[in-house]
Amino acid sequence: MKLFILKDKKQVIEQASTIISNEISRNPSLILGLATGKTMIPLYKSLVSLYKNKKINFSKITTFNLDEYLSLSPKDSRSFRYYMDKNFFNKINIKKENINFLDGLSKNISKTCKDYESKIRKVGGIDLQILGLGENDHIAFDEPGSSINSTTRKVKLSNNTIKNNSSKGRVPSHALTMGINNISKAIKIGNHVWIGRDSLVLKGVTIGDGAVIAAGAVVTHNVSPNSIVAGNPAKIVKNISNNPVE
């Protein structure tokens, strides 16, 4: 685990991009877990820039996104697939068949969720997972209070999440999301990058190998021995392991 204490969002994005680029250089066939949201837009912009400057190659990469709204088509500007196409996929050399997304128009939600998990297992799990925290601390669309054993499923979104995500028109009240259990397995299998907002809140988080990168205040409690959090100024709580700090 590495802890990066960075002074602003620009440095956060630069460091996150470097980590992702290095991982792809080491493993050109990387299985990459992706997230959405306002926080991720400058990250994807940075990765696109690296690609255009021939410093990164996505041709053998396979991706899995964390979540998608129910009832929205990929062409709907409110959907996460539209977001990913606009901000990332359409600007790099990833193969379309290597892009994996939960189907928000599915008529058989249970099968869709099980098939998604099965596909992740078949490729050997996610090597590098990008994660962010929502305004109310949700991870993917796992709202606060979600079970640690939760798997890929249909969820009802909180009013707070709906309001914050409705800048392009009101979003649906339900979505499909990978669960905390799925995400935890991805983290334990490989690496991960957390990208924090101005305020980052971690509650009872268990983190495997990887990096926690944040700018802004940090509030923590019930943090596991392997967890590291950072901010500006950094606040490091008890039970932090003696891992490299940068």
Residue 143 catalytic? Answer: yes
**β-bridge partners, 64:** 33, 100
Q: How are beta strands 174-177 and 153-156 bridged, if at all?
A: antiparallel
Q: Which amino acid is at 67?
A: D
Q: What are phi and psi for residue 89, nearest 5 degrees?
A: -55, -45
Please pick, among 65, 98, 138, 142, the residue that the annotation labels catalytic.
138
Residue 67 annotated to the active site: yes
Q: Is 128 helix (H, G, I), strand (E, B) or coil?
A: strand
Among 22, 90, 136, 243, which one carries the catalytic annotation? 136
Give yes or no for a contact between 206 and 226, defined as CB atoms under 8 angstroms apart. yes
> Counting Cβ atoms within 10 Å, is residue 175 exposed (0-12), middle (13-18) or buried (19+)?
buried
Can you name the residues that pair with 129 across neighbouring β-strands?
33, 192
Catalytic site includes residue 181: no
Residues 76, 98, 143, 182: which is the catalytic one? 143
In the block, residue with structure tokens 């440095």: 11
Within the chain, where are the H helices? 9-26, 41-52, 80-87, 109-122, 159-164, 180-189
Token pair, residue 168, equals: 């392009």
Is 14 one of the catalytic residues? no
Known catalytic residues are: 67, 136, 138, 143
